[in-house]
């Protein structure tokens, strides 16, 4: 074997097992879609309305002992927002609300995590909805449940900041600007 071929063979003999181990580790850690929920609560004509996003993906690495390496990314299929009525769901996915055709996903990407008291954390990151991004601080409670990591919290947002509700729906006397995003995330493995 020529020297360059030996180097390639050696590199492959090191890289392939490492890549396989990394893939196996990432395959073991996954969002439990059956147990995880993301809902939005708002008021329409001063009546509370609650809807749930049915499709959510996540990539989480959370180590309470090493917050500097901890990170999270959540992506939500906005067309999966379920208000309990196909007619309303279709309207909310439309151009005046989420505009799911042009902006199919909303996302949150963490940039820093700080520990608080009694299992609480403050997760700073970028929330993007309808192509509009803002830095937010998400208050979160964390606990272990067997091998699973469980994250709970509520993030208040202003819908108009993200362009949610165009035209007549920009009127906050019809639909309030305040929205509570409530999450219960169960992430298996690490």
Query: With bands split at pLDDT 50, 70 and 90, how would you rate the model's confidence at 9?
Result: very low
The pLDDT tens digits for 41-50 are 999 999 999 9
The model carries a pTM of: 0.82
Percentage with pLDDT > 70 across the chain? 84
Contacts of 134 (CB under 8 A, 6+ apart): 126, 127, 161, 162
Element (H, E) at 21: helix 3-28
Calculate the CA 16 to chain-centre distance.
31
The predicted model gives 73-87 an average pLDDT of 96
The pLDDT tens digits for 112-143 are 999 999 889 999 999 999 999 999 999 999 99
Cβ neighbours, 10 Å, residue 52: 15
- Phi and psi at residue 31, in whole multiples of 5°? -70, 130
From first CA to last CA, the distance across the chain in angstroms is: 41
């Amino acid at each position: 074997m020529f020297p360059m071929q030996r180097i390639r063979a050696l590199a492959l003999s090191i890289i392939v097992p490492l890549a396989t181990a990394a893939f196996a580790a990432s395959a073991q850690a996954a969002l439990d879609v059956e147990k995880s929920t993301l809902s939005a609560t708002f008021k329409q004509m001063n009546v509370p309305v609650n809807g749930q996003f049915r499709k959510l993906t996540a990539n989480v690495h959370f180590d309470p002992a090493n917050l500097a390496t901890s990170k999270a990314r959540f992506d939500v299929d906005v067309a999966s927002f379920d208000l309990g009525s196909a007619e309303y769901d279709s309207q909310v996915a439309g151009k005046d609300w989420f505009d799911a055709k042009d902006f199919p996903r909303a996302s949150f990407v963490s940039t820093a995590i700080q520990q608080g008291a009694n299992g609480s954390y403050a997760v700073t990151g970028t929330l993007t909805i309808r192509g509009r991004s803002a830095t937010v601080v998400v208050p979160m409670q964390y606990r272990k449940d067997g091998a699973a990591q469980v994250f709970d919290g509520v993030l208040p947002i202003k819908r108009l900041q993200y362009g949610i509700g165009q035209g007549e729906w920009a009127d906050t006397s019809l639909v309030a600007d305040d929205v509570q995003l409530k999450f219960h995330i169960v992430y298996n493995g690490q």
